[in-house]
Structure 1
Amino acid sequence: MGLNCGDTAPLLSHRLSVNLSPCQQQQQQLHSSLGFPSPKLTPQPSLSQQPNTQLAAKSKSLLHKHPLYTPAHTNISFEIKEKILCLEIMGVDSGKALSQNPSLHAASLGSIESIIFFLQSKGIQQKDLPRIFGMCPKLLTSDIRTDLKPVFNFLSQDLKVPENNFRRAINKCPRLLVSSARDQLKPCLFYLQRLGFEDLEALAYQDPVLLVSNVENTLIPKLKFLESIGFSRDEAVAMVLRCPALFTFSVENNFKPKFDYFAEEMKGKLKELKGFPQYFAFSLDKRIKPRHVEAVQSGVKIPLPLMLKSTDEEFGELIRLGAG
């Protein structure tokens, strides 16, 4: 059955919108829903994963419900409202993004969509963007040439991450994308390698947060604390190599209270922590204290690793066997 003239318009409209970017599709919907003439938009290369098509009514509802659309904010430009809609439909909290990244007010939709296209060209999927942009709103106004390309060059050349695994590393630590390759990532990698971190794959996929940590203000103070409680420099380094998560713990909120309890209440010896630095990874109130108290009350002495690593069922069995 052939198409009549009435069927042709929506078909042509659909064909013209197929290759529009996510933001352009949302921009077109927004103009239509608010009664503005649709702008002339240049089609972009199709993406491997396009966001779900949004109904014009939903677009209008989203925009009208946003606090920046209220009559009290009638001075907000239409361009800002378009950005709000674009971010909200992508699943990004626009209010948080605009407050944490004031430069976003002046950014064009074109620049935002260029960043989206670039990230997707590196393997980042549409479903990853809400979390990535939510954690790093600064990314929305990054410069592709001076900010983003050096990060991916670092991943490829310095961390030896193959292109098909970029997404895995970025999703593990989105902050990589807003860290300077020259001033942060490369110096930090150099410092970690000097300490003895030789497994680049582990740094890329398990502990990339170490690469975005400040060497002087974050990493070095952790080693200094371990030395201050009696470990030698070599022993402290060996502990963080065995348990890299130690570099992510707060000295004031983690190391100090847990060590104080270990030394004062548990009467523990440093050699126990040297052999089991993972002690600092367990919750003081939910795991360390209750299990230690139960073991003491039952008159059972359990090695530190076994006491903390065992499941509740296994721990209960250890108590029963020891008490029996």
Structure 2
Amino acid sequence: MPPPAAALHSSQSFLAYKSSLSTISSQEPANVSTRKPKTFLQKHPLYTPKTKQNQTYTLYPTRKAESREDKMYSDHVLKNIVYDNASDFADAEMNPLETPTHQNISLEFKEKILCLEIMGVDSSRALSLNPSLHRVSLYSIQSVITFLQSKGIHQKDLARILGMCPRILTSDIKTDLNPVFDFLYNDLKVPEHYFRMVINKCPRLLVSSVKNQLKPALIYLQRLGFKDLKSLAYQDAILLVSSVEKTLIPKLEYLVSLGLSRSDVVGMVLRCPGLFTFSLENNYKPKFDYFANEMGGSLEELKKFPQYFAFSLEKRIKPRHIECVESGVKIPLPVMLKTPDEEFKKLTGQEGG
């Protein structure tokens, strides 16, 4: 049974994983003094190698025994990341002589896993979302991390950013990542010292094509009337990574199909940009159906208060509407949904009831 997900980043799990790695030894002549160059992981502060002269070179310190919990952790992680796809495993089963074991896993691959875990990234999830991590070199991963840090991204930000978008780790710095920062600086006028704020707000920017996604979205939004570049960069960057053809335009057209004029809809999305982020099937349609059929609301109300679609149908809209009906009180839509619970009870005459 695999250990709980929370254990993946604990210090005990980290030590357990280190203990599951192989020990590499190289016999050197007594009269020759040579030292192998340090790898990325050897430079990490958690790494403590043995450095006595003429002693067997050990990449990772080992312990005398591996606990049951240690073995559970290492087995759980490795069995989920060894194979790129099911056919690899099937091929291995067909030929028992070629069945891979944990000892067959390359040292660099193990170092990549440890690298991800050290940063706080769930390696199993990252490899599942981005299979290219199986093939990319550890040096390439470290180059990407170094580049992000040179742009102001802090070490503590990496777990969240890379956890959300592990494809960043296999991106090309010159053709993929650098153009995004150029876009932020030149098109959105974001100062370099604010790069970190924007990327933390929307990590998906780093895996979006400037030519095919970011610039077309910016042009479309500006034509609609989004003139405040600061708001787009710092608050509504999610709109820039949304497809114009598949996301932005369909949302706009749906609102128009309800009977609202195009100019009214544009005014609504300018006041409430979040309208572009709501699902048609899971948000707009059920909420409008309830609004029109159960609440008897008018399009004029929605035009004045488009934030209606931002409230939960089951936890806010329905309960508040039912209370108003049962109390025989007619309350304007914004007041009904935005008022705190205690004040709402006063408005419906339920205080102390």
1:41 aligns with 2:38: yes
Question: Which residue of the partner structure matches residue 8 of structure 1?
Answer: none
Aligned match for 1:280, one of 270, 292, 309 = 309
8 Å Cα contact 2:129-2:166 kept in structure 1: yes
Q: What is the CA–CA distance in structure 1 between the aligned matches of 2:198 and 2:284, rounded to whole Å?
A: 28
Q: Give the AA of the match of 2:46.
A: T
Q: How many residues align?
A: 290
Task: Return the offset for 1:31.
Answer: 10
Matches within 5 A, 1:170-249: 170-249=199-278
Counterpart residue number, 2:87:
none
Q: Offset of 1:90 from its aligned partner?
A: 1.0
Q: In 1, are the aligned partners of 2:176 and 2:207 still within 8 Å (CA)? A: yes
Deviation of residue 313 (structure 1)? 1.0
How has the CA–CA distance of structure 1 residues 32 and 103 changed in structure 2, closer, same or farther, with 3 Å as cutoff? closer
Partner of 2:145: 116
Secondary structure (helix, strand or coil) at the match of 2:189 reads: coil
Alignment of 1:281-296 (within 5 A): 281-296=310-325
- Which residues in structure 2 correspond to 1:1-324 (within 5 Å)? 34-37=22-25, 39-41=36-38, 53=46, 64-68=74-78, 72-320=101-349
Cα offset for 1:33?
Answer: 6.9
Residues 269-322 of structure 1 show CA distances to partners (whole Å, capped at 9, x for unaligned) of 100000000000000000000000000100000000000001111111111299
**Aligned mates of 1:190, 1:173 — CA distance in 2:** 19
Q: 1:315 to 1:52 in 2, by over 3 A?
A: farther
Any conservation in 1 of the 2:20–2:74 contact (CA below 8 Å)? Answer: no
Q: Which amino acid aligns with 2:197?
A: R
Deviation at residue 34 of structure 1 after TM alignment: 3.9
Unpaired runs of 5+ residues, structure 2, are 1-13, 26-34, 49-59, 83-99
Q: Deviations over 1:157-215 (max 9, x none)?
A: 00000000000000000000000111110110000000000111111111100000000
Aligned AA for 2:108?
E
- Distance 1:68-1:234 versus aligned 2 partners, 3 A rule: same
* SS in structure 2 at match of 1:161: coil
Q: CA deviation at 1:74?
A: 4.0
Moved more, 180-189 or 59-68: 59-68
Distance 1:209 1:58, change over 3 A: farther
- Which stretches in structure 1 are left out of the alignment for 5+ residues? 1-25, 44-49
Determine if contact 2:19/2:61 at 8 Å carries over to the other structure: no
1-structure distance, mates of 2:270, 2:62? 51
Give the deviation of 1:41 after TM superposition.
2.9
For 1:57 and 1:39, how far apart are their aligned partners in 2? 16
Letter of the 2:248 counterpart? L
Deviation at 1:64, TM superposition (A): 3.5
Give the drift of 1:72.
4.5
Q: Distance in 2 between matches of 1:82 and 1:301?
A: 64
SS in structure 2 of the partner of residue 320 of structure 1: coil
- RMSD between aligned residues: 2.8
Counterpart CA distance in 2 for 1:262 and 1:213 is 27
- 1:179 maps to amino acid: S
Higher helix share: 1
Q: What TM-score comes out, normalization by structure 2 length?
A: 0.76
Could you say if the C-alpha distance between residues 180 and 256 of structure 1 is closer, same or farther in structure 2, counting changes exceeding 3 Å?
same
Query: Structure 2: which amino acid aligns with 1:290?
Result: P
1:13 maps to none
Residues in 1 aligned to 2:261 and 2:186: alpha-carbon distance in whole angstroms: 34
Alpha-carbon distance in 1 for matches of 2:277, 2:184: 21
**What amino acid sits opposite 2:234 in the alignment?**
Y
Distance, in Å, in 1 between the alignment partners of 2:155 and 2:331 is 49
Distance in 2 between residues matched to 1:263 and 1:58, nearest whole Å: 68
Q: What are the superposed Cα offsets for residues 50-78 of structure 1, whole Å, 9 maximum, x if unpaired?
A: 97635666999598355317984443222
Q: Which amino acid aligns with 1:64?
A: S
2:22–2:103 Cα contact (<8 Å) kept:
no
